C-alpha cells in the first residue's frame, strides 16, 4: 500500500542536540511538506520541496533544515538554534497538484528535555 | 494573503445529536477548500473537499459541508454524531501562489461527543 512513513514516532532529546526526523513516501508524489503542530495553533509550514534537489522555506523555517536528495525522502533536522522545538511534526505530500490536497504521515512527537 | 478562522476551539455534543463546525476564510482570489480530521497522536485525513461545482459536498463518515461564497464560509455538518467522531477537525484553504499551492490551516476545532 502506498503511504508516508515518519520515524521515529516519539523522540526525546536533551537541549542543544540536533535531531533528524525521517519522512519516506512511496506515492510517487513530487511535492513534500513539513508542518509543525502546537496545541491551539493549527499547522504551520516549516519547509516544502516541489522537486528533488529543491526546497523552499515556509513560514517558520528558522532553526530547521531539510534536504531532498531523492524523490522518496525529505528528512527534517531540528537544530539547536530552534528555541522551542518540542512539538508534533507532520510530513505531507501533495496528492492534488493543482488543488493543494495533502496526504499526511502519522507524525513524529519530539520532546526536548 | 489568505486566512482561515475556526471560531470554536471546542464543541461538545451529545451522541446522535447534529453538529456544525464553523469555518470562515478570507482570500482575494479563488481558493479550494478542505476539511481534515485528526485522531489523537495521528496525522490528518481528508474528510472532504470543495474544488468547483455543487456547493454542497459530501465526505466520508457521513459528513458534509456547504461552500458559501458570499459569506466566505465552509461549515462542516453531520446530522447525527457518533462517539467515534471525537477528534480534532481542521479547515484549510489552498490557492496557487507563483506555481506553488499555498495551503493555510485553521487552528482546529475539537469535537467531543458525549455518550
Q: What is the sign, positive or negative, of the torsion defined by CA atoms of B86, B87, B88, B93?
A: negative
Say what percent of chain B tops pLDDT 70: 100
Which of A21, A33, A44, A100 would you mutate first to test chain B, the one with the most B CBs within 10 A? A100
What pLDDT is attached to residue A74? Answer: 98
Strand, helix or coil for residue A80: coil
Q: Give the three-class secondary structure for B102.
A: strand
CA pair distance A103, B42, nearest whole angstrom: 12
Residues 6 or more apart whose Cβ sits within 8 Å of residue A45: A33, A34, A35, A58, A59, A60, B103
Condensed to tens digits (0 to 9), the pLDDT of residues A58-113 reads 999 999 999 999 999 999 999 988 889 999 999 999 988 788 899 999 999 999 98
Contacts of A97 in chain B (CB under 8 A): 101
Torsions phi, psi of B109, nearest 5? Answer: -130, 125
Q: Is the peptide bond before A65 cis (omega within 30 degrees of 0)?
A: no
Contact (CB<8Å) A100/B94: yes
For B54-95, the pLDDT digits (tens) are 899 999 999 999 999 999 999 999 999 999 999 999 999 998
For residue A39, name the pLDDT band (cuts at 50, 70, 90): confident
Q: What percent of chain A has pLDDT over 70?
A: 99
DSSP A30-74: S-EEEEEE-TTS-EEEEEEEEETTEEEE-TT-TTEEE--SBTTB-
d(CA B71, CA A82): 39
**Measured between beta carbons, which residues in chain B are less than 8 angstroms from residue A3?**
none
CB within 8 Å: B46 and A101: yes
User: So what's the pLDDT on residue B41?
Assistant: 85
Model pLDDT, residue A53: 95
Which chain A residue has its CA at the smallest distance from B51's CA? A99
B-chain residues within 8 Å CB-CB of A88?
A: 41
Q: What is the pLDDT of residue B90?
A: 97
Listed as own residue / partner, the contacts of A63-69 with beta carbons closer than 8 Å and 24 or more positions apart are A64/A34, A66/A34, A68/A32
Looking at every residue in chain B, the average pLDDT score rounds to 94
Contact B51, B34 (CB under 8 A): no
* pLDDT score at B9: 95
Would you say A68 and A55 are in contact if contact means Cβ atoms under 8 Å apart? yes
Tell me the CA distances in angstroms from B104 to A52, A84, B21, B96, B107, one per residue in order: 24, 22, 17, 12, 10
Query: Is A102 close to B44, i.e. CB distance below 8 A?
Result: yes
Give the C-alpha separation, A74 to B17, whole Å. Answer: 43
Query: Is the Cβ–Cβ distance between B78 and B84 less than 8 Å?
Result: no
Amino acid at each position: 500500500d502506498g503511504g508516508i512513513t515518519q520515524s521515529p514516532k516519539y523522540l526525546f532529546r536533551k537541549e542543544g542536540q540536533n535531531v533528524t526526523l525521517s519522512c519516506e513516501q512511496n506515492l510517487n508524489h513530487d511535492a513534500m511538506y513539513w508542518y509543525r503542530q502546537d496545541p491551539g495553533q493549527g499547522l504551520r509550514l516549516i519547509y516544502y520541496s516541489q522537486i528533488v534537489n529543491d526546497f523552499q522555506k515556509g513560514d517558520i523555517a528558522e532553526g530547521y533544515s531539510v534536504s531532498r536528495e531523492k524523490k522518496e525522502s525529505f528528512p527534517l533536522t531540528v537544530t539547536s538554534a530552534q528555541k522551542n522545538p518540542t512539538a508534533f511534526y507532520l510530513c505531507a505530500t501533495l496528492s492534488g497538484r493543482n488543488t493543494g490536497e495533502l496526504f499526511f504521515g502519522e507524525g513524529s512527537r519530539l520532546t526536548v528535555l | 494573503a489568505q486566512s482561515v478562522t475556526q471560531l470554536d476551539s471546542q464543541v461538545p455534543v451529545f451522541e446522535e445529536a447534529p453538529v456544525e463546525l464553523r469555518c470562515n476564510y478570507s482570500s482575494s482570489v479563488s481558493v479550494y477548500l478542505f476539511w481534515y480530521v485528526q485522531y489523537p497522536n495521528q496525522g490528518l485525513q481528508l474528510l472532504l473537499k470543495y474544488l468547483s461545482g455543487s456547493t454542497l459536498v459530501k465526505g466520508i463518515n457521513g459528513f458534509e459541508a456547504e461552500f458559501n461564497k458570499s459569506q466566505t464560509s465552509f461549515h462542516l455538518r453531520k446530522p447525527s454524531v457518533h462517539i467515534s467522531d471525537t477528534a480534532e477537525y481542521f479547515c484549510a484553504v489552498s490557492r496557487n501562489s507563483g506555481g506553488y499551492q499555498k495551503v493555510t490551516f485553521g487552528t482546529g476545532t475539537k469535537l467531543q461527543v458525549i455518550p
